[in-house]
Structure 1
Amino acid sequence: MTETRSVCVYCGSSFGNKEKYAAHAEKLGKLFHQLGWKLVYGGGTTGLMGKIASATMGPNLDGKVLGVIPDALVAKERDSSEQDINDKLKESVDNHKGSTPISSAYGETAVVPDMHTRKRLMANESNAFVAMPGGYGTLEEVLECITWSQLGIHANPVVLYNIDGFFDNLLKHIEHSIEEGFISKKNGEIVQVAYTAEEVVEKIANYVVPEGRFNLKWTDEGAHSSNS
């Protein structure tokens, strides 16, 4: 169907208030497993992160998954089971204290010293980027990824998986910035939008690098452009 991809997915370590978020994460993971695509994600086993990772691994645990997580976010003491943690997160995001357990059932995990190392490794391991619903971290990561494309650090697909209109306000902000002259219309095309798991795959497979991006020569960030 399409060439093999290594897809970085940014998403929440909580489930959110709608069951459809987890359902879409599971469906996308199953599609990755079916296609033989590799998932790169933020590590851990909770929330949407855990849901897409376990689905990508598949029932026989033969999928391709790399989780990248800073040491500070790894739950060192497991006072509760992973199921207990996920049950609590389903009740309220306020129960989530930031740390998460890790498990080989969710793929390979790379524990790194800090957030900067995490983001760099995730980017270097990927040739496409997808954002699903999430909080501050998800928004920060995908916006940086979009900026990297604008600056010519990479030329890989960037897709917002806009489940139930979750990213509508962000898309309005981008459109407003274009209207106000802060983002060029061509650079607005860096961001692709999908509403189903199948459309995410289609947007990645058929991505066309927009013209008009900055043609800069990077040295320190050069590893990212090698995936373009």
Structure 2
Amino acid sequence: MNSIAIFCGSKAGNESVFIEQAQKVGAYLAEQGKTVIYGGGRTGLMGIIADSALQAGGKVIGVIPTTLVDRELAHPQLTELHVVNTMHERKAKMAELADGFIALPGGAGTLEEIFEQWTWAQLGIHLKPCAFLNIHDFYTPLFDMIHRTVETGFTQARFAEQLFQSESIEEILEKFKNYQAPEPKWGVQ
């Protein structure tokens, strides 16, 4: 597992722990020799992840749609920057480049991106792990809802179990190293 896609906020949030952990994640991934794949922005947790990985000597690849480049939101110092036409192309390119996916705190875009990858894993479009870095219990209510979807018969337990959560980037990478994808929903694609 050489490249990790990070989904996170284009804002920094209102608690310093989010910034501190984003800095730690970027530096740790670089120190572990992992390439960071992310949305290519320079603001919020996105920019913090990129900056800390680059400062630690890591490789950072951004994937950003033209409309955001036009608004001058692209990070200017990345190892590589892929400019695509649409958000759909962005997610597909990130999925192609990444060996696994981690969500840090963020809003609707972060949730949409990680849930699409988790859905693709269930369908067998890819067999890559997905995780949430649960900083300061940010995602605990979300996991309560995911467990509710299992209890009510909308999600198969094996798919909920394949979705990792931890407060520790180290633990997530360890789980990724030992990851075995469950049988896809309708067999291997």
Larger Rg: 1
Residue aligning to 1:189: 161
Mapping for residues 41-190 of structure 1, pairs under 5 Å:
41-59=38-56, 62-76=57-71, 100-104=73-77, 106-190=78-162
Residue aligning to 1:199: 171
Q: 1:152: Cα distance to partner? A: 0.7
Residue aligning to 1:15: 12
Provide the aligned C-alpha RMSD in A.
1.5
Letter in 2 for 1:71: T
Does residue 208 in structure 1 map to residue 155 in structure 2?
A: no
Q: Give distance in 1, aligned partners of 2:183 and 2:86.
A: 34
Letter in 1 for 2:63: V
Query: Are 2:63 and 2:90, in contact at CA under 8 Å, matched by a contact in 1?
Result: yes
Q: 1:164: Cα distance to partner? A: 0.7
Q: Give distance in 2, aligned partners of 1:44 and 1:212.
A: 33
2:36 to 39, 42, 51: 39
Residue aligning to 1:84: none
Q: Give distance in 2, aligned partners of 1:11 and 1:152.
A: 24
Gaps of 5+ in 2: none
Aligned length: 189
**Consecutive aligned runs of 4 or more in structure 1 exceeding 4 Å deviation:** none
Q: Give distance in 2, aligned partners of 1:195 and 1:208.
A: 21
Q: 1:110: Cα distance to partner? A: 1.2
Query: Are 1:159 and 1:203, in contact at CA under 8 Å, matched by a contact in 2?
Result: no
User: Per-residue displacement from partner, 1:84-138 (whole Å, max 9, x unpaired)?
Assistant: xxxxxxxxxxxxxxxx24212x432111111111011000001101011001100
Q: 1:69: Cα distance to partner? A: 0.6
Gaps of 5+ in 1: 78-99, 218-228
Q: Give distance in 2, aligned partners of 1:157 and 1:216.
A: 16
